[in-house]
Structures are given as structure tokens and as C-alpha cells.
Amino acid sequence: METKYSAPKGMKDYLYPESFEMERIYSTASEVLEIHGYKKIETPVLEKAELFYRGVGEDTDIVKKEMYSFKDKDGELLCLRPEGTAPVIRAYLENRLDGLGLPLKLYYSGPMFRRERPQAGRSREFHQVGAEAIGSDDPLLDAEVISLSCLIFEKLGLRDFKLLINSVGCSNCRHSYTGKLKKFIDGIEGDLCVDCRARKKTNPLRVLDCKRGSCMEALKDAPVIRNFLCDDCERHINKVIEALRDMEITFEENERLVRGIDYYTRTAFEFVFEGLGAKNTVSAGGRYDDLAETLGGPRTPAVGFSLGLERLMLAQRKAHASSVSSRTLDVFVATVGPDAREFAFSLLRMLRRSGISADIDYLSRSLKSQMKHADRLGAKLVVIAGGEEQEKGEVVLRELETSTQETVSVDSLPHSVKSLLSGSVCDV
């Protein structure tokens, strides 16, 4: 069937079982984060655009090229949020959450929006789970935040990932490094893309974040910031690394790793998965000690990360780690004859009250058609209920996978169903 309406370019509907995969990731991440003391926060999908001009950086690709921004009827410039950290810090300052005690641990989930070129693992509406630990500059907190992604991946059955880590220094030590980097870029500017030439003027550090092969080749001999770190930043990254080793977390130091957002300071990290193409970063983050002050509040150290659900689902499929089963409904109640409808509906209510997922036919199909529909729904068991069964106070309980069946009493139906589900060959 053709329709003149479709989802906007780069955006999509999430249908089952993909919607179930996404919900499973949300649930797993929430469990890990809450165990570590993080509390859920919800920020608006719409924010004032100025928040990201100031927080993310007016000359970043996100702000200059990718934000969905518009003026509302009052002439105020709003945008769909392109990332989650700046809104959390805005909420922290606006609601004076420092009064809850520091460090404050918050996590969020939901859609973000960037007008990028759609490709595998990159869409214009994408979903993230993120966490922010606000109010401490302790390097052990950096290590904890990094470990959260490891735990989420492992709970989802994923092992084949690589952690990359670096320090991008603070505003003090970055100043001397930026001068050296600019001089180097002057000598290779003709080999760089147009975007990198513009970045050189606004934030030379972001030139190192370019993923174009020609730029990466031209920059291979560029000076690295690790050689310019001040004593405090050097001590900080060394303590983070020591803590990761104590936690037995495998990592690689990548001296060229920077983040494409202006607010990062000191620790920067990425988790990458092989086989996802150019966009293989699934989780990333770092420290941003100056962001609260940039947004008009007191200087407040903080560290956090965000995890991309679409890319994580790609990684799961590559690793065949998804646990989504084609059989998702516990029981389908099939009715034999119109006179048994009320009887069958009472069985449906009984099963659902017992915590068993169940459904029934609402289109007056034949028994054969109901069995086919039950299979399409992914039912594990079918309860067959007719007038004869109602008179005897019993039903037929059939396993769709094996086609075996037995007769059970109505009173024992929930118990019989749970027993079969716990030992069923088609159990999830």
C-alpha cells in the first residue's frame, strides 16, 4: 500500500522487535546506573538555542551545521536538543541542585537531533543514554564513569569493544599546545579539508577530530597534547589510568583522541566497536570542569558520558548478541464456537491477572486461522476453549513449538502455564 506520508529523512519508526531491543538497552543501562547511585532526570526535547551556542561551542559542527533551530511565535530562538550534557547542567544550575549534596549523579535517556547525512549508525533523530557526575574533580570518579559503559556492554553480552583514552588538558596547558598546533597546521593547511581550515581559526584542537583520511594522514606528525600537560593534568590522567588498571579495565592511550565539543577538559574517552564502519564509536565522554561556569554558574567540576542506542544495536547484531526472540507472547486463547467467547475471555483475564502475557482473537476467525495468528504473534502456548471444555471445567493447553498438548482444569490453568513456560523448549 502506497502512502503520500512518510517519516522525515534521517528519522524512522521503531517497530518490533527493534523497539524491544531499544527498551532492553534502556532497562539494562538504567539498572547499572542506579546501582552506582545515579538518579533519573528528564530535560525538555526543546531548549533555547543559546544554551548550545554557549555550552557546546558556536563554531562546532553541531551548532553551525546540524542543529534544528527555529523561532517560535514570540520570536525566541529554540532548537531540538542535539546532545544531553548541556541541558543537564542547565537544569542543575536552574534548579539549584547543588543543594542536594555533591557530587550529584544524574542520568538521562531519550532522543537527540542533528541534521547530519544519514548513514549506518547515524540518523537525524538518534537515542542516547547518558550520565553526569557533577561536583567533584576526583579522578576516581572519571574511572567510575568510564566503567559504566563496560558494565552495560557486558550485561548486554558484548565483549568485543576497545576503550580509547586521552587527556585534552585544561585551559592553562592547552594554551601553549594550541600555539604549537597552529604552527604545524600552517605548514599542512593545503592538505586539509575546508572544514579543518575553518576549525584552525576557531578551535585548532578539533582539527584532530576530523575523520577524513586525507586530513588524518596530513596530521599524523602533529604535536600531541600529552607532551604539553601541566603538572595537575598529568597527575590527573595518571590517576585515572591507575584506577582503570586496578579495575582490570583494558584500554589504549590514544594521544590524538579529542572530542568534537568545546566543553571537554582533561579526561576524554571513547568506546569503539569493530565492523560498524566509519561511525564505530558507541559510547564516549569525558570531563568538562568549565561548562557550568560557561553557562553562568559557579565553576563546578563534572564528568560524564553518553551511549548511542542505534550504534549499540548495530554492535549487538554484528555480535549476534541480541536476545530478542520471535516468540514473545506467553499464551494465545483460541475460541471454538461463538458460544464460548465469554468463557474464553474470562480465561484471558485470569491469565493476565497471574502475570502471564496473553491475547485472544477479536475477528471471529476459525480455529485454524486462530492458530496461525497465534504463531504470527509469537505465542509459546495456546489455550483452546470451547463449549465442551466449559462444561467440563477444563481446557486444552498446546505448545506451538512441539505441537504437544494436554488437558488441564481451569482452576490449575495459571499454574500449568507457568510450569510449561519455565521448562518450555521455546522459552526466552
| Whole-angstrom distance, CA of residue 96 vs CA of residue 243 | 31
Q: Which three cell numbers stand for residue 81?
A: 536538543
* DSSP code per residue over 37-82: T-EE----SEEEHHHHIIIIITTSHIIIII--EEE-TT--EEEE-S
| Whole-angstrom distance, CA of residue 106 vs CA of residue 303 | 11
pLDDT value at residue 335? 95
Cβ neighbours of residue 254 closer than 8 Å, sequence gap 6 or more: 164, 165, 166
Burial class from Cβ neighbours inside 10 Å (0-12, 13-18, 19+) for residue 92 reads: buried
Q: Which three cell numbers stand for residue 112?
A: 537527540
For residues 134 and 142, the answer to whether their CB atoms sit within 8 Å is: no
pTM over 0.75: yes
Instruction: Report the b/e string of 118-141 with b at 16+ CB within 10 A.
Output: eeebbbbbbbbbbbbbbbbbbbeb
| Whole-angstrom distance, CA of residue 258 vs CA of residue 283 | 14
What angle is formed at CA 41 by the lines to CA 36 and CA 44, rounded to 5 degrees? 155
pLDDT value at residue 277? 65
Of residues 344, 272, 333, the one with CA closest to residue 308: 272
Q: Grid cell 542516547 — which residue?
A: 128
pLDDT value at residue 187? 82
Residues of the chain with pLDDT under 50: 326, 425-428
Of residues 312, 288, 263, the one with CA closest to residue 58: 263
Q: Which three cell numbers stand for residue 196?
A: 579543518
Per-residue pLDDT tens digits for 368-414: 999 999 999 889 999 999 999 899 999 999 999 898 999 999 999 99
DSSP summary character for residue 7: P
pLDDT value at residue 139? 96
pLDDT value at residue 426? 36
Share of the chain above pLDDT 70, in %: 96
For residues 212 and 199, the answer to whether their CB atoms sit within 8 Å is: no
Domains defined for the chain, CATH in brackets:
18-170+230-319 (3.30.930.10), 329-421 (3.40.50.800)
Per-residue pLDDT tens digits for 179-210: 888 888 888 878 888 878 877 777 777 787 77
